Amino acid sequence: MRDLFIYHPGTGTVIGLDDVVFLCDSQYIEDDILDCMTNGGTVREYHHKGYRLDNYNMTNLFYGE
Protein backbone atom coordinates (compact mmCIF):
# COMPACT_ATOMS: atom_id res chain seq x y z
CA MET A 1 0.00 0.00 0.00
CA ARG A 2 1.20 3.50 -0.76
CA ASP A 3 1.55 6.32 1.76
CA LEU A 4 -0.68 9.04 0.29
CA PHE A 5 -1.14 12.60 1.50
CA ILE A 6 -3.00 15.82 0.73
CA TYR A 7 -0.81 18.81 -0.11
CA HIS A 8 -1.85 22.48 -0.28
CA PRO A 9 0.76 24.39 -2.35
CA GLY A 10 -0.37 27.83 -1.14
CA THR A 11 0.27 27.14 2.54
CA GLY A 12 2.62 24.17 2.29
CA THR A 13 0.25 22.14 4.48
CA VAL A 14 0.64 18.37 4.25
CA ILE A 15 -1.98 16.00 5.69
CA GLY A 16 -1.13 12.31 5.68
CA LEU A 17 -4.00 9.96 4.94
CA ASP A 18 -2.98 7.91 7.96
CA ASP A 19 -4.63 10.79 9.89
CA VAL A 20 -8.42 10.86 10.14
CA VAL A 21 -9.42 12.97 7.13
CA PHE A 22 -12.86 13.51 5.61
CA LEU A 23 -13.96 14.75 2.20
CA CYS A 24 -17.03 16.95 2.75
CA ASP A 25 -19.46 18.48 0.31
CA SER A 26 -20.25 22.03 1.42
CA GLN A 27 -23.86 21.54 0.30
CA TYR A 28 -24.38 19.13 3.20
CA ILE A 29 -22.54 20.85 6.04
CA GLU A 30 -23.76 23.65 8.23
CA ASP A 31 -22.90 27.33 7.75
CA ASP A 32 -20.89 27.51 10.99
CA ILE A 33 -18.58 24.79 9.64
CA LEU A 34 -18.05 26.71 6.38
CA ASP A 35 -17.24 29.80 8.44
CA CYS A 36 -14.78 27.77 10.49
CA MET A 37 -13.11 26.45 7.33
CA THR A 38 -12.65 29.91 5.84
CA ASN A 39 -11.73 31.75 9.05
CA GLY A 40 -9.73 29.06 10.84
CA GLY A 41 -10.61 27.09 13.92
CA THR A 42 -11.78 23.58 14.53
CA VAL A 43 -14.88 21.55 13.75
CA ARG A 44 -16.45 19.45 16.48
CA GLU A 45 -16.39 15.73 15.74
CA TYR A 46 -20.16 15.36 15.68
CA HIS A 47 -20.27 17.80 12.74
CA HIS A 48 -18.09 15.60 10.51
CA LYS A 49 -20.15 14.65 7.50
CA GLY A 50 -18.51 13.18 4.46
CA TYR A 51 -16.35 10.37 3.19
CA ARG A 52 -13.38 9.08 5.16
CA LEU A 53 -10.16 9.36 3.15
CA ASP A 54 -7.45 6.91 4.10
CA ASN A 55 -4.50 5.17 2.47
CA TYR A 56 -6.44 1.95 1.86
CA ASN A 57 -9.44 3.51 0.09
CA MET A 58 -7.44 6.06 -1.90
CA THR A 59 -4.84 3.49 -3.01
CA ASN A 60 -7.66 1.29 -4.31
CA LEU A 61 -9.30 4.28 -6.02
CA PHE A 62 -6.18 5.56 -7.80
CA TYR A 63 -4.15 2.41 -8.34
CA GLY A 64 -6.65 -0.47 -8.24
CA GLU A 65 -4.57 -2.34 -5.67
Rg (CA), the chain: 13
pLDDT at 14: 92
Kindly report whether the global pTM for this prediction surpasses the value 0.85.
no
Type of residue numbered 63? Y
Cβ within 8 Å of residue 29, ≥6 positions away: 47, 49, 50
Q: Which residue ranges make up each domain of the chain?
A: 5-63
Decide if pLDDT at 53 tops 70. yes
pLDDT, one tens digit per residue, over 9-52 is 998 989 998 888 888 776 666 666 666 767 766 666 655 667 88
